[in-house]
Structure 1
Amino acid sequence: MNLIQKGLLAIMLVSSSVAYGQLTEDPEDRRGDGKEPLKTQTPEGEPLPFSQRLRFGGGISSLQFGNSRIGTPFIIGLSPVIAYQASERLIAGVGVNYVYYRYRLRTNTQTLTDQFNQYGGRGFLMYELVPSIVPNLYAHAEFENNNIRYADQAAQEYKRRWVTAPMIGATYSQRVGRLAGINLSILYNVNYNSDIYSQYVYGSPWNIRISFF
């Protein structure tokens, strides 16, 4: 495991620990009074400080266990996130994308091995649409930028390039604390059909993910 992999794994572990603290410590929860806790104010109506509006978390963006006899790759992706509750209905955030690929093919005479990394970042906005009718349903807009490896057939070598992916869709958040939730997102990559390199990042224009923050 190289330095980049170790660093990203450490970020993910720290983010998960902080997120767990948000989940278990919620001194201003109003549910005892039969009310949903506000996301940006204390029960007394005072604005929450910046630090208490932050959410830390993320998720596993990819996971596949390879079989060396049939040539399927081993893939694992991590996506730590920092989000900010800008208002009662608006969430803004940034995240890091990292995917590790390892390909091993075993034949009768030799074993072929290849491994590489894909990395990048993203920024997103989530706006709660109709909280009075469907609470915790958000319109979701996101911009990703990922550095990928691709095969240059003319030069007969691997090269790297950045690929942008503006995505739109929706997220449903199942809240488990004042500033914590399990999120199901369905997003559409607007660039997928117009940029062939987008297909190196995702196998479909539709991206479905589960995250925690």
Structure 2
Amino acid sequence: MRSIYRLLLFISLLSSGVAYGQISEDPEERREQGQSPLKSQTPEGNPLPFKDRLRFGGGISALQFNPFSIGVSPVVAYQASEHLVLGVGVGYTYSNYKNYFGGNLNQYSGRAFAMYEIIPSILPNLYAHVELDQRSYSTTDQLTVNGRTTGSATATWVGATYSQPIGRLFAANLSFLYNLNYANNADNYLLFGNQPYTIRISFF
């Protein structure tokens, strides 16, 4: 009888270990079966922990040499579901216009965005993209009385992003966005350019 109890105890421990292994299975293991790795849950449908859904990245923007300009835009995104990504980002761009008006241009930005995979069964990795982008700038020059000019503007971007996966939670993103708030004035021109649309490449 004692040997039967031991056998039952061994079987129960073994089955518990197998069950735990299934619950904690890495979604990346689906690649071995020719399937895409899951982004927000295990293959058994259990939600992944918060930290396992975070995506970090960003991009370098506005790089040019005459006049010199460079910008950085780090991003933190959260894989809310298999098809929904939410994120926030900040940005800074420095431009040197000393040869033009004797000064520099500093741009600052903060944004929040949402991306939803529209029809994954037909066009996988194509996302509808909505974003609120608040920007401000300051210039130092020799043309104004106090040598400094400031301004700000807000963009509401709508459009599409194609996201090419590089691993389970990292991708190269190509975005085509249109600014619904664009106005033909100096602030918008300095902060968003002379057109109401933008093409952006980012990684997260």
What is the TM-score normalised by the length of structure 1?
0.75
Alignment gaps of 5+ in structure 1: 1-25, 67-72, 107-111
Q: Identify the residue that residue 196 of structure 2 maps to in structure 1.
A: 205
| Contact 1:145–1:165 under 8 Å retained in 2 | yes
- SS state at 2:77 partner: strand
Q: Identify the residue that residue 4 of structure 2 maps to in structure 1.
A: none
Query: Residue 50 of structure 2 aligns to which amino acid in structure 1?
Result: F
- SS state at 2:188 partner: helix
Indicate the percent of aligned positions where both proteins have the same amino acid.
55
Q: Identify the residue that residue 14 of structure 2 maps to in structure 1.
A: none
CA–CA distance in structure 1, aligned partners of residues 58 and 124 of structure 2: 21
Q: Does residue 100 of the first structure (1) align with residue 94 of the second (2)?
A: yes
Q: Identify the residue that residue 167 of structure 2 maps to in structure 1.
A: 177
Q: Does residue 149 of the first structure (1) align with residue 138 of the second (2)?
A: yes
- SS state at 1:177 partner: coil
- SS state at 1:37 partner: coil
- Give CA deviations for 1:172-196 in whole Å, capped at 9, x if unaligned: 0001111111000010111113655
Q: Identify the residue that residue 182 of structure 2 maps to in structure 1.
A: 192
Cα deviation, residue 37, structure 1: 1.0
Cα deviation, residue 27, structure 1: 7.0
In terms of fraction of residues, the more strand-rich structure is 1
Q: Identify the residue that residue 19 of structure 1 maps to in structure 2.
A: none
Figure out how many residues of one structure are paired with residues of the other and give that number.
176
Task: Rate the CA distance shift 1:36–1:27 in 2: closer, same or farther, 3 A.
Answer: closer
Query: Residue 43 of structure 1 aligns to which amino acid in structure 2?
Result: P
Query: Residue 179 of structure 1 aligns to which amino acid in structure 2?
Result: L
Bigger Rg, structure 1 or 2: 2
- Which structure carries more relative contact order (alpha carbon 8 Å, separation 6+)? 1
Query: Residue 124 of structure 1 aligns to which amino acid in structure 2?
Result: F
| Contact 1:192–1:199 under 8 Å retained in 2 | no
Alignment gaps of 5+ in structure 2: 1-25
Residue pairs, 1:40-119, within 5 angstroms: 40-66=40-66, 73-105=67-99, 113-119=102-108
What is the TM-score normalised by the length of structure 2?
0.79
- Give CA deviations for 1:109-152 in whole Å, capped at 9, x if unaligned: xxx7422311120000001000000000000000111112369x
